[in-house]
A and B are shown apart, each in its own frame.
Chain A
Amino acid sequence: MDDLYREIIIERYKDPLYRGELNPHDITFEDENPLCGDHIRIDLRVDEHGTVTEAAFSGHGCAISQASADLLLESVIGKSLDEVRGLGKQDILDLLGIELGPVRLKCALLSLKVLKAGVYGMGEASDDLVED
């Protein structure tokens, strides 16, 4: 029906691979997009070299925000925290393989914002984290 809803997005939305919570975890953070009430929590386990070994997300939101969280976590497993800090908007768009308008971009970037705020150990997630 639509490019935005490519099969991979619908698939990951319906059957996410990284949905859940990790307890205990090394890093956790949550935030929401007040515009649409989307809410995402991300938990990470990190080994002694600073490499992400496990990742999970929970919360609720639209297909774009949920699928982007799932794809993002898949992509960060095995990456160093430094590499995670270097992720930006374009990386998410590449993962999703779609173009997004300004409103839906916020949905797509929520998980990256939450992830980076957690990795930086910030008190609050900022939009600056996802600007390229």
Chain B
Amino acid sequence: MATSSFNPGELANLLKDFPILSREVHPGVSLAYLDSAATSQKPASVIDAMDEYYRRTNANIHRGIHMLAEEATAKYEDARQKVARFINAHSEREIIFTRNTTEAINLVAYTWARANLKNGDLVILTEMEHHSNLVPWQILASERGIRLEFIPVTDEGLLDLDAYQQLLAQEPRLVSFMHMSNVLGTINPASEIVRMAHAAGAVALVDGAQSVPHFPVDVQDLDADFLAFSAHKMLGPTGIGVLYGKEALLNAMPPFLGGGDMIKKVMLRSFSANSLPHKFEAGTPAIAEGIGLGAAVDYLTHTGMDRIAAYEHELTSYALDRLSEVSGLTVIGPRAELRGGVAAFTLADIHPHDVAQLLDREGLAVRAGHHCAMPLHQRFDLPATTRASFYLYNTRADIDRLASALERVKKLFG
């Protein structure tokens, strides 16, 4: 990899930015947080930006004339610009703030899809999707009779692009897929999948919940029509997410929720919708959280997404090596070169809940279950897995702790 990751001094400084990492989780037991795919920890700069907003600026945005309202509006809209630059959108009008990835995908399902899809139209998804990119389309399927097809997942945990090519012959209207799997870690060839979708005349939605936080994502390179992601997985707060959409598409879509802020004009029996992005943002938004997201983007940009990706890649390779030394442990998903910082595994026939609980005793925070991807687990014939996931604040020491704790779990159940 061309880009260098962090040197030990940089890493030590970076760790100090995350206050939570210095807490004990049990008496005398320090935290090794290996659950960033669920939600990331927050640097002090993000916490401070939100704290500062409430202490000094708090006011409702967009309508007020007073100083606080103007400051609050400026900060909130400034965050939108930061997000637009971060993913290289043409304009901040293409950045719709939502609550999270889930709401961003639902927004497309409730507006674009309801305006454009009819009985019999095909939507292509994949077998590896998170429930948030399955259920909205299932709801639409039962409501309107749209058809769903799924790009299969190979035994190695990759999308079968030949099968995808064949599905495209059925002229789908939409292809909606995850950029990176939250279970397999697979980084899908998103630009290629989008290009193929466009060649078949379909619109492409990319679930960027696991990609945008971890490596550079450029919507111009990707050429996706929609990209959804959550602030809380990229060092930002919960309660705010993003739907990026190409401006022409967003303009042609009907609004989502109705209410204040999304209107230009309201009469007793009718309204006209506001311009982008406000058209899709009814009611008072998560203002502090938007500002927190802006601070998170600053942190990531300042640290360098290339370097974060390079560091996580090293860490993931190391983790896969260390985990492969634990006998009876099987990691699902592809080899290190094709994946991001996620390792879901089984350990002999020990139930993942037991594994996670015992790891917690040693201060290791991992996740056990189906990780909101039940169909994917069924595909691999597994009821559940244990998942360790990494971010820029994890170290080799965390992984060493994980590997040796897993040995002790095995011994207890041996």
Chain A residues with a Cβ under 8 A of chain B: 1-2, 4-5, 10, 14, 35-39, 60-64, 104, 107
**Is A37 a contact partner of B370 (Cβ separation < 8 A)?**
yes
Minimum Cβ distance to chain A for residue B351 (Å): 4
**Is B361 a contact partner of A1 (Cβ separation < 8 A)?**
yes
**Is B361 a contact partner of A104 (Cβ separation < 8 A)?**
no
Q: Could you name 24 residue pairs across A and B whose Cβ atoms are closer than 8 Å?
A: A1-B358, A1-B361, A1-B412, A2-B358, A5-B412, A10-B412, A10-B413, A14-B413, A36-B352, A36-B353, A36-B370, A36-B384, A37-B370, A37-B377, A37-B383, A38-B383, A39-B383, A60-B383, A62-B352, A62-B353, A62-B354, A63-B354, A64-B353, A104-B357
Measured in the bound complex, the distance between the Cα atoms of B357 and A61 in whole Å is: 14
The 3 closest A-B CB pairs, nearest first, are A37-B383, A62-B351, A62-B353
**Is A107 a contact partner of B353 (Cβ separation < 8 A)?**
yes
Interface string of B323-348 (1 = CB under 8 A from A): 00000000000000000000000000
**Is A35 a contact partner of B369 (Cβ separation < 8 A)?**
yes
Number of A-B contacts (CB under 8 A): 47
Report if B392 contacts A (CB, 8 A): no
**Is A64 a contact partner of B354 (Cβ separation < 8 A)?**
yes
Minimum Cβ distance to chain A for residue B293 (Å): 29
Chain B residues with a Cβ under 8 A of chain A: 351-354, 357-358, 361, 368-370, 377, 383-384, 408, 412-413
**Is B352 a contact partner of A4 (Cβ separation < 8 A)?**
no
Measured in the bound complex, the distance between the Cα atoms of B402 and A107 in whole Å is: 24
Q: Which residues of B contact A35 (CB under 8 A)?
A: 369
Measured in the bound complex, the distance between the Cα atoms of B408 and A36 in whole Å is: 22
Q: Which residues of A contact B361 (CB under 8 A)?
A: 1-2
Give B349's nearest chain A residue, CB to CB. A60
Minimum Cβ distance to chain B for residue A106 (Å): 10
Minimum Cβ distance to chain A for residue B412 (Å): 6
Measured in the bound complex, the distance between the Cα atoms of B362 and A5 in whole Å is: 14
**B383: which of A2, A5, A36, A104 is its contact (CB, 8 Å)?**
A36
Measured in the bound complex, the distance between the Cα atoms of B360 and A5 in whole Å is: 13
Measured in the bound complex, the distance between the Cα atoms of B368 and A38 in whole Å is: 12
Measured in the bound complex, the distance between the Cα atoms of B377 and A1 in whole Å is: 30
Q: Which residues of A contact B412 (CB under 8 A)?
A: 1, 5, 10
**Is A61 a contact partner of B351 (Cβ separation < 8 A)?**
yes
Minimum Cβ distance to chain A for residue B321 (Å): 26
